[in-house]
Amino acid sequence: MTVVFTKVNSHKYSSIATRDDGASLAIPGFGTSKPLPHDVVHLITEDELGVDYGFWGCVAAGAIYKGMVVVAGKVRHDSKKKSEEIIKGNGQKISEAEILAGIILIILREGIQDDWPKIQYVQKSAWQAASPSRPQMTHEEIKRICVRLERLSEQWHALPNGQTLELIWKTHKSNQRRQPIHQRRMAAA
């Protein structure tokens, strides 16, 4: 799946995800673009942690969340039912992915990537899952995510308004190490 993030201005972004089935979905941008668009942080966090059925994995599998609009291609005749099944079947993983991305955003905004005691406090405060599908993030995982996001942040902030950043989401089985996503800068359409 290809996800193209368009920098509308320094505070707003939009994105279009083109799934492997050919459907392109406009995804409303939530939150600010500081230090990066929320959905970029989500994508990189899920990718680095191998979360196959968080937000982006579910979109790739056929989920269409409220607010998304099909802008090109065709969806399956039973796409609404399939979407509901994907979202319902992965509710906990989706919620956990949101929490993980939120933790990373706090760490980035506060600049505490190297302060493990503060990171542990942030994680403990945010991570409330009764039966989590994964353990809390390790310091190494957090550092790896933050390094990738810091590089992307430099690219994002250098983009003029109207320009895009393209990320590729590669879906793999949950029990295998995911291949890293690829990124490239693209010209405005």
pLDDT tens-place string over residues 123-172: 998 877 678 888 899 999 999 999 999 999 999 999 999 999 999 998 75
For residue 187, pLDDT beyond 50 = no
Cα distances (Å, whole numbers) of residue 114 to 100, 137, 151, 171? 17, 14, 16, 30
181 exposure class (CB count in 10 Å sphere: 0-12, 13-18, 19+): buried
Select from 2, 97, 92 the least CA-distant residue to 49. Answer: 97
91 C-beta neighbours (distance < 10 Å), count: 12
183 or 53: which carries more pLDDT confidence?
53
For residue 188, pLDDT beyond 50 = no
Least confident interval from 67-81, 102-116, 167-181? 167-181
**How is residue 120 annotated by DSSP?**
H
Are 82 and 21 a contacting pair, CB within 8 Å? no
pLDDT tens digits for range 59-98: 999 999 999 999 999 888 899 999 999 999 999 999 999 9
Query: What's the pLDDT score for residue 172?
Result: 53
Cα distances (Å, whole numbers) of residue 98 to 17, 45, 75, 165? 18, 10, 26, 21
Mean pLDDT across 19-41: 89
Domain extents in the chain: 2-186
Helices 139-158 and 91-110, packing angle to 10 deg: 70
User: pTM here?
Assistant: 0.86
